Every structure is written in structure tokens, then in C-alpha cells.
């Protein structure tokens, strides 16, 4: 496979790979390292890429596995989360600050979720993957993915309600 063909295949989902790595590892530097490592592995195996039906799902699975390995090894360091693809046009400053605060609260709650739930929330609610793709990436059954996603959303929802009703985090 020529370099130009390789790039046409893998570049369209590079941002998704980075965002998943960032969601799991939280640190920008760690996510950049993970993304670079993934693309290095893909390049080394570029002749085999055409064997995969869904290269993007394969890459996301590799990213998830690499990130989980990093987290288990304890080598991932100084974890902070910043991710926002939310933008509302024409809001006043108070509303914009309130929106950013709400987004920040959700991100903090996602950060506290177990790794598996965190990855599934990222894939489904941020990256908008369908359930079949998530099942392949996470190597889980559809019912297990739905249960994990439901539990993650419930945890976030309950924490937000508690904070809203009582001002407690």
C-alpha cells in the first residue's frame, strides 16, 4: 500500500482516535502519544489494512486497548479533561458561562466513571458511533453495551439532579 493510499484510509478518523484517547487518558500529551503509537502500528501493518472490513473500528479498538493498557500500567500521568464540541450561536454572556459550567460539570462526572463506561459514553454520545460499532470496539455484547451506557447516563443524571437541587457535588 502506497503512503497516499494509506493516508486516505486512516486520516478521516484521526480526530476520533485522538478524542477517544484523550477521554480515556485525559492528558493531551498522553492522548497525542497514544495516537502517534496507533498510527505507527497501523503504518507497520499497512499491507494488512485492506484485510479489515472496517479500518476505523479496528483503529478505535486498538486505541481503546492501548489506553487501557497505559492506565493499568500506571504510566499515564497528570490527568485533566478538556473536551467540548458544544456551541450555541447567539447566546448572551451569562447563558454562555452557564453552558460552559454545565459542560464542565458533565465532563467532571464522566471523568469519575469506570473506564469502560467512560469509553462507551465517549463512543456513543460524543463520537456518535452506532451500537454495533461500539460492540466491536469494546468487544462486548449489545446488551452489555446498552447496560453500561444506561448506567453511565444514570450516574451522570443523578449527580446533576443532586447538584441542581441541593447545590452539592
At 10 the pLDDT is 82
> What's the pLDDT score for residue 101?
75
Pick the CATH number of 93-166 from 1.10.10.10, 1.10.1040.10, 3.40.50.300, 1.10.530.10: 1.10.10.10
Mean pLDDT, the chain, rounded, equals: 81
95 to each of 86, 87, 88, 101, 105, how far by Cα in Å?
13, 12, 10, 10, 15
Q: What is the mean pLDDT of residues 156-162?
A: 87
Extents of the domains making up the chain: 11-73, 93-166
Neighbouring C-alpha atoms within 13 Å toward the C-beta of 93: 0
Output the pLDDT for position 160: 85
DSSP H or E run through 58: helix 55-73
| 94-132 confidence digits (pLDDT tens) | 666 766 777 888 888 999 999 999 999 999 988 889 999
pTM of structure: 0.56
Whether the domain at 11-73 and the domain at 93-166 fall into the same CATH topology? no
Q: Which residue has the cell 486505541?
A: 63
* C-alpha cell belonging to residue 142: 449489545
Predicted local distance difference test score (pLDDT) of residue 148: 95
Q: Does domain 11-73 fall into CATH 1.10.3210.10? A: no
Amino acid at each position: 500500500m502506497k503512503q497516499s493510499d494509506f493516508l486516505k484510509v486512516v486520516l478521516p478518523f484521526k480526530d476520533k482516535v485522538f478524542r477517544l484517547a484523550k477521554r480515556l487518558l485525559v492528558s493531551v500529551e498522553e492522548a497525542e502519544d497514544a495516537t502517534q503509537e496507533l498510527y505507527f502500528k497501523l503504518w507497520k501493518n499497512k499491507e494488512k489494512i485492506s484485510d479489515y472490513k472496517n479500518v476505523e473500528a479496528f483503529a478505535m479498538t486498538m486505541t481503546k486497548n492501548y489506553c487501557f493498557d497505559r492506565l493499568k500500567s500506571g504510566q499515564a500521568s497528570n490527568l485533566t479533561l478538556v473536551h467540548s464540541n458544544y456551541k450555541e450561536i447567539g447566546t448572551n454572556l451569562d447563558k454562555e458561562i452557564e453552558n460552559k459550567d454545565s459542560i464542565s460539570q458533565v465532563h467532571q462526572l464522566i471523568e469519575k466513571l469506570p473506564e469502560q463506561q467512560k469509553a462507551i459514553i465517549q463512543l456513543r454520545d460524543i463520537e456518535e458511533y452506532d451500537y454495533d460499532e461500539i460492540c466491536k470496539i469494546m468487544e462486548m455484547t449489545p446488551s452489555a453495551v446498552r447496560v453500561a451506557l444506561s448506567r453511565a447516563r444514570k450516574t451522570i443524571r443523578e449527580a446533576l439532579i443532586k447538584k441542581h437541587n441541593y447545590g452539592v457535588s
